[in-house]
Structure 1
Amino acid sequence: MFKQLRNIDTAFQHIKKFSIVLIAANVLICCFWSFFTYKAVTEAQGRVHILYNGKVLEAFASTRKANLPVELRDHIKDFHHYFFDQSPDDKEIKKRIGKALYLADGSAKRQYDNLVESGYYNRMISANVAQEVEVDSISLDINRHPYAFTCYATEKLIRESNTVLRKLVTKGVIDDSGMQTDNNPHGFMIQQWQILENGDATIGKP
């Protein structure tokens, strides 16, 4: 009788150990399955299929953070082109300034008002001067938020007789506005914008 009890107890211990091993194995399998499923779903979400000329092409999507410096610089460039690329036409000036003001806060509006009050645009129209800007470089600090920047550009005042080149330097900070729109596709907002330098550099023939 005792031998039978010992056999039953031994069998129970074997079954108990086997059950523990089986449960542990199932838990490990579930963990590995969950991990690989999550990885597969993440990789699938990172793939974008594009239909081009009747062919399906596969591309890889990247996070916005990876493209952040590129998007910030493009936003800054767009703003400066809208603000400084001007033709001697009052309606066109207001139209382009309006586009620029969608990309910046009231600091840009104050700069515009100062130029209007000084008669800058009236002199440009009366002298038939076109204005173009070429952004040379943008110094950007993405380690601190909002992101501080300094923009270095060359401004051209184009007359019939000659072209005046100006050195243009501006600075400010740029932050996420929280909303992307048709007028502000990147969804950023330039703040505390200042014109540090805008002086004649050289004069040359067009």
Structure 2
Amino acid sequence: MFSQLRNIDTAFRHIKRFSLFLIIACIFISGFAIYKSYEMVGNAQAKVYILANGKAIEAFSTERKSNLPVEIRDHVKMFHHYFFTLDPDEKVIQRNISKALELSDQSAKKSYDNLKEQGFYSNLISANISQEITIDSVQLDIEQYPYYFRCYATQQLIRSSATVNRKLVTQGYLRNVGRSDNNPHGFLIQRWETLENSDLPLKP
């Protein structure tokens, strides 16, 4: 009889250990499942889909600082493209300059007003000159704020008789502003100035 009791006691202890092990395993599996669920939700929320030409393209949200140099360079390129890409058409000039001024402060407006007073835009229209710009490079210093930039570019003045190339070097600073349709990167160029704008030698 005692042996039967011992066997029952031993079996009970085994069942108790097994039950305890099973409970711990269930808690561990449940905790792991909850953790993975939160991780999957976080990854799903990090995904952004952009609609381009009728197709959904997956993008990933990141901290702005990791994309800061790319966004600043594109903002600087956009500003210079609009400010210096001109055709002998008053409406085209006004449209491009307006877009450029939305990306900058009064320093760019002052440069525009000076060029207008000097008859630069009137000369483009009367002489049927188109102006294009190619951005060669943009140097940045993002360790200081406002962020400093220096832009190196090549201008082309296209006439019916010839094309003149000019070297353009500008500099300025950028500060953060709210993003909008007119200013998608959320920067404003300030203290913008032209350091060099000189003719390049004609290629033989």
TM-score range, shorter chain: 0.7 to 0.9
Q: Are 2:166 and 1:169 equivalent residues in the alignment?
A: no
Residue-by-residue CA offset, 1:15-51 (whole Å, 9 max, x unaligned): xxxxxxxxxxxxxx9x999987765554342234678
Identity over the aligned pairs, expressed in percent? 54
Q: What does residue range 1-206 of structure 1 map to in structure 2 within 5 Å?
A: 41-48=41-48, 59-177=59-177, 179-203=178-202
Q: Pick closer, same or farther for the CA change 1:150–1:32 going to 2, 3 Å.
A: same
Aligned counterparts of 2:200 and 2:41: Cα–Cα separation in 1: 56
Residue 88 of structure 1 and its aligned partner are, at CA, apart by 0.8
Aligned counterparts of 2:53 and 2:81: Cα–Cα separation in 1: 33
What is the alpha-carbon root mean square deviation over aligned residues? Answer: 3.0
Secondary structure at the residue paired with 2:202? strand
The residue type paired with residue 196 of structure 2 is E
Aligned counterparts of 2:41 and 2:138: Cα–Cα separation in 1: 38
Residue-by-residue CA offset, 1:91-136 (whole Å, 9 max, x unaligned): 2111110110000000000000010111111111111110000000
The residue type paired with residue 183 of structure 1 is N
Q: Pick closer, same or farther for the CA change 1:180–1:166 going to 2, 3 Å.
A: same
Q: TM-score, normalised by structure 1?
A: 0.74
Say how many residue pairs are matched.
Answer: 177
Contact 1:164 1:204 survives alignment (8 Å): no
Aligned counterparts of 1:56 and 1:129: Cα–Cα separation in 2: 41
Contact 1:135 1:151 survives alignment (8 Å): yes
Contact 1:163 1:203 survives alignment (8 Å): no
Q: Pick closer, same or farther for the CA change 1:174–1:160 going to 2, 3 Å.
A: same
Q: Pick closer, same or farther for the CA change 1:34–1:191 going to 2, 3 Å.
A: farther
The residue type paired with residue 197 of structure 1 is E
Secondary structure at the residue paired with 1:202? coil
In the other structure, the counterpart of 1:4 is: none
Structure 1: runs of 5 or more not aligned: 1-28
In the other structure, the counterpart of 2:3 is: none
Structure 2: runs of 5 or more not aligned: 1-27
Aligned counterparts of 2:144 and 2:52: Cα–Cα separation in 1: 40
Q: TM-score, normalised by structure 2?
A: 0.75
